[in-house]
Amino acid sequence: MDFEFTPEQTAIRKHMREFAEREIAPVAAKNDRDCKFDWDIAKKIFAEGFLGCPVPEKYGGLGLDYIAYGLMTEEVNRICSSTRTLFSVQTSLVALTILKWGTEEQKKYYLPKMCVGEFIGCYGLTEPEAGSDAANQQTMAVKDGNDYLLSGQKVWISCGSIATHALVFATVDKSLGHKGIACFIVDTKSKGFTARPIKGKLGLRASDTSELFLDEVRVPKENLLGQVGEGFKIAMSALDNGRFSVAAGAIGLVQGCIDESTKYAMQRKTFGVPIGEHQQVQAMIADMVAECEAGRLLYLRAAHLKNKGVRNTLETSIAKLFCGEAANRAAHNAVQIFGGYGYSDEYPVERYFRDAKVLNIYEGTREIQRLIIAQDALGIRYANGQQTGRPTALATVGV
């Protein structure tokens, strides 16, 4: 087992950290307050090619590995969760899904444009009646000659109003259950497609989250991703990548809490000493640091498996669950360390606190992750399709 990063991984992490501190940190609080998706920041991210980090160079990406991608995602989220959402959606949920399931033609057409933000993607799985129960898709795809007509509604779709293309999951026959689902790449300019931003979110206020409405949207059969009937499998494989970026992002949020809290704890004095000298404050910081280190190892293990092309649904779920929970605990403690000042948006920990909650809601709630992990442990359903053995860390390295 090698705990060292390569020079390339270290360099991209440093580059991303400097970018985030220079370009995002000065405006993150204001964008959050104004509920503004910041196109200026997005354009700078596009120009750097960051969104193509794990996409092979032959499709316009940076051709870096998943460890580099995880570190990059962590660094963005250390400063701003809303900006990290762009990576989770564009890179993990959409580009990597087209990379895995697309035809050569689709890959050549969509990926180079997605890597530089000329195309922006969104991932349309959730519906009013299909959240955790994602197979219960009500959006219908009706064959019409060489096309499909898509009708239905999606809800809580990140980047839904800014996307040029949406991955839309729809069923050709509800009676077939998850085997009737197909995935389509839908041009959001198509007739019958509308998006409506959701207002009043608890967190992620500088990211776009929308409802999508499809009224007989005509989609040519060339825009099918994979085969009819493979849609559910495609949706779940996309989540293996999406959850990975959420886990890495969550550790970025924990790191942000540590950085802010340690700085404040050595400045703020009570009873004549910095609060960092009080043992109860130290305990909160120690918990944050320990969970940050543990969570980082978990997402990096998932990254290692992805690099090897090994199925990693279980390891990614474990990372997503642990890191999401760690982020919530860290944000809770960070606000506590700041006392009354943590309750105001004068300091970023208030934003981290609000942004943390979604980490155990989207891309499979924490309960759904626990279901996946427990069913695997109990032998009810193996998350990676087969028994990986216990403990999983040993199984990973082939012991």
Ligand X SMILES: Cc1cc2nc3c(=O)[nH]c(=O)nc-3n(C[C@H](O)[C@H](O)[C@H](O)COP(=O)(O)OP(=O)(O)OC[C@H]3O[C@@H](n4cnc5c(N)ncnc54)[C@H](O)[C@@H]3O)c2cc1C
Q: Which one of the spans 64-72, 118-126, 212-220, 264-272 is the region binding ligand X (CB under 6 A)?
A: 118-126
To ligand X, the closest distance from the beta carbon of 368 in angstroms equals 6
Touching ligand X, residues 138-197 (CB under 6 A): 156-158
Q: Select from 10, 103, 132, 282 the one that contacts ligand X (CB under 6 A).
A: 132
Q: Which residue is nearest to ligand X (CB)?
A: 131
Please, which residue, 128 or 389, has the CB nearer to ligand X?
Answer: 128
Please, which residue, 9 or 81, has the CB nearer to ligand X?
Answer: 81
Please, which residue, 200 or 309, has the CB nearer to ligand X?
Answer: 200
Please, which residue, 88 or 396, has the CB nearer to ligand X?
Answer: 88
Q: How far apart are CA 216 and CA 146, in angstroms?
A: 14
Give the active site residue among 325, 350, 363, 367.
363
Touching ligand X, residues 87-116 (CB under 6 A): 89
Nearest 5 degrees, angle CA 40-CA 46-CA 51?
130
Touching ligand X, residues 338-397 (CB under 6 A): 358, 361-365, 367-368, 371
Indicate whether 125 belongs to the interface with ligand X (CB under 6 A): yes
Indicate whether 232 belongs to the interface with ligand X (CB under 6 A): no
Touching ligand X, residues 34-93 (CB under 6 A): 89
Please, which residue, 336 or 365, has the CB nearer to ligand X?
Answer: 365
Active site includes 363? Answer: yes
Touching ligand X, residues 246-265 (CB under 6 A): none
Kindly list the residues in this chain that would bind ligand X in the complex (CB under 6 A): 89, 123-126, 131-132, 156-158, 204, 209, 358, 361-365, 367-368, 371
**Catalytic residue annotation:** 363
